[in-house]
Structure 1
Amino acid sequence: MNAKTLPATQFQSVQKFIDKIVKEHNFNKDELSLIFSQIKLKVAEKPKKGKKSKPKAPRPTMTWNKYKSLFLTDERINNGVKFWQSNLTTINRAQKKYNVPAEIIVAILGIETSYGNKKGTHPTFKTLVERSFGNYRRRNFYKKELQSFLLMTRENTLPPLSIKGSYAGAMGYPQFIASSYRHYAVDFNQDGKIDLFSDPIDAIGSIANYFDKHQWHDFGEIARPISLSSAHLKYAKRSTNKPKKNTQYWRNKGLSIDPDIPNKTKLAFIRLPQQKIDETWLTFWNFYVLTRYNHDNRYAMAAYKLSKKIKQQFNQNKY
């Protein structure tokens, strides 16, 4: 039996949200009510007495080997080289302006949307409304993104109901969420508008700007593999690990760190999940900046490794 659904405007929580942004951002209430009314939300069903829903079993963590096999493919590497060659002038300009390596910009586009070929088919407004007012754990986050989305569409004269993106509300070539679109997207082709949906030039500049605003260290190192003893394995995290302590601190702890790394350089250590023994890496500040795009260490490492493979093949093709 299908759950009962009603237009979003029939929910008090949605009406309160509409009233709030009308008051704070001078939206037209009738126009907002019209577009919200076109989204249907499920009516929460009361649980039957005496029956408790079973908690969902946590999904097993995907191993690093499996994760990287999804992204480090010959097709993605080859298409990355082609994209770089086709947008050479723009990518060089972004690298020069923001001091973010060309191969990093290309790799992010490759992972996110296969260089603009897979931008998502989910209606973004519908996605954000459902996640803001449905049974989702991060409802407050999505309400902020829904507000940012409405501001973004107004600022860029975009019809809210026509935009499509990922299942979680990310959009365009670089898969920016709405707040990132507003804060980091740039008019890199200087045509008077910002377009991350159909303009690779704006997308290239916006990714470089995103990393620059997150304090990318100009052409700084990203990561190195490292073997850690059982006593030192506790310093490596599967979760995001921000470099806070310098090399001298870690050397004093007894870690064997390559002699070419200066004592003042701040480092962190991560673990990438494997079936038997996790892979361990020494990471620099720029690896942490990569995790600002996606907080999963596997994502950041996949972007780093893909960027190296694309650069290697790009350089080979030049000769």
Structure 2
Amino acid sequence: MRYLLALVFFVGVAHAKPLDEQGLQRLEQLSEEFAIDMATLQQATEQATYQQSIIDAITRPWESRPWHQYRNLFLTEERLAAGLAFWEEHQQTLEKAEQEFQVPAEIIVAIIGVETYYGRHTGRYKVLDALYTLGFFYPKRSEFFSKEFAHYLNLVEQQGWELDYMKGSYAGAMGLGQFIPSSYLHYGVDFSDTGKVDMLNDKVDAIGSVANYFRQHRWRYGEPVVHLVSLSDEQAEPWLSKGLELPHQAKQLAEAGVAEAGELPDDAKVKLLGLEQADHTEYWLVRDNFYVITRYNRSPLYAMAVHQFSQQLKQARNDS
């Protein structure tokens, strides 16, 4: 019995992690910035539970794997079949979204497929717990996630949800397209004309909202996303950079001997990206639309997986 009581006490302490003085100061800042009553914020934190597994998840993301392993997580025959079925089921909605938002249907289908496998995997963490844990106990991103915590309170009020009911990813992303609260509020559209944005259950709203997200981030309809280039590691090394921005113009790389760059407009903004295959590095010139995909998820691996899956979907549909 003594052991059992000790175990219960230990588990309770492990999960009960109230805010320290710095956390309370952050709540006051959020109250002022988001015009949320301090008592409301405090009550929300009291309902939230610290989850160490969330910290563990964000510190070892899938994007830390090499490309040849990461790619195989998403470009599978099973996901392709599910994507084609989703496209067939929602063909009219996707055509409407493509026409209205000028974003290709295959990109919309690919995003929803990569994010949630068409609704099969929308997340197992309480959004309240995820944003509380990361917003107040993960210093590296605390400013960002504490703001998302406040956005979530506003979203809950807008939608009429129970505060601790909603589940999502370890980063607090929700629904078919995995929108964080600020994105849900800003980019969500009532594409089904029901009078309310519902990206959790309404696939029509999810399609419209994903398309709107890409339009708002300036997707360039009809322009390429990437170009495969033939370079040795030595040729590539001076042009590689860590950031996501596009630091060069095609003319610069063409003058340096990158033949494929000569086929692009001289002023086309580009970035050279190296992707780790099992026995070599593969090099790509990525363009504005690739950068737009990284606005959804800041990983170049994610962006390339979405692009290649979209092309796989488009090719398979054209062949059917």
The match for 1:178 among 154, 174, 181 is 181
Matching residue of 2:240:
237
Matching residue of 1:131:
134
The match for 2:254 among 251, 261, 281 is 251
Matching residue of 2:97:
94
User: How far 1:109 moved relative to its partner?
Assistant: 0.3
- 2: CA distance between counterparts of 1:10 and 1:57? 25
User: How far 1:202 moved relative to its partner?
Assistant: 1.0
What TM-score does the superposition give when structure 2 sets the normalisation length?
0.85
Matching residue of 1:114:
117
* Residue 199 (str. 1) matches residue 202 (str. 2): yes
Residue type of the alignment partner of 2:42: S
* Residue 70 (str. 1) matches residue 73 (str. 2): yes
Residue type of the alignment partner of 1:212: R
- 2: CA distance between counterparts of 1:183 and 1:230? 42
Q: Residues 221 and 284 of structure 1 are in contact (CA less than 8 Å); yes or no, is this contact kept in structure 2?
A: yes
The match for 1:154 among 157, 165, 169 is 157
Matching residue of 2:4:
none
Matching residue of 2:86:
83
Count matched residues.
304
Matching residue of 1:49:
none
Structure 2 unaligned residues grouped into runs of 5+: 1-6, 52-58
Percent identical pairs in the alignment equals 33
CA RMSD in angstroms, aligned pairs only = 2.7
Moved over 6 A (4+): 56-60
* Residue 216 (str. 1) matches residue 219 (str. 2): yes
Q: Residues 251 and 262 of structure 2 are in contact (CA less than 8 Å); yes or no, is this contact kept in structure 1?
A: no
Matching residue of 1:33:
42
What TM-score does the superposition give when structure 1 sets the normalisation length?
0.86
Answer 1 or 2: which has greater helix percent: 2
- 2: CA distance between counterparts of 1:128 and 1:182? 16
Q: Residues 272 and 280 of structure 1 are in contact (CA less than 8 Å); yes or no, is this contact kept in structure 2?
A: yes
Matching residue of 1:290:
293
Q: Cα–Cα, structure 1 residues 156 and 12, in superposed 2: closer, same or farther, change >3 Å?
A: same
- 2: CA distance between counterparts of 1:101 and 1:256? 28
For 1:284-308, what per-residue CA distance to the aligned partner results, in whole angstroms no more than 9, with x for missing partners?
A: 2111111111111111111111111
User: How far 1:205 moved relative to its partner?
Assistant: 0.8
- 1: CA distance between counterparts of 2:290 and 2:15? 45
Structure 1 unaligned residues grouped into runs of 5+: 43-55
* Residue 278 (str. 1) matches residue 281 (str. 2): yes
* Residue 12 (str. 1) matches residue 15 (str. 2): no
Residue type of the alignment partner of 2:25: K
Residue type of the alignment partner of 1:266: K
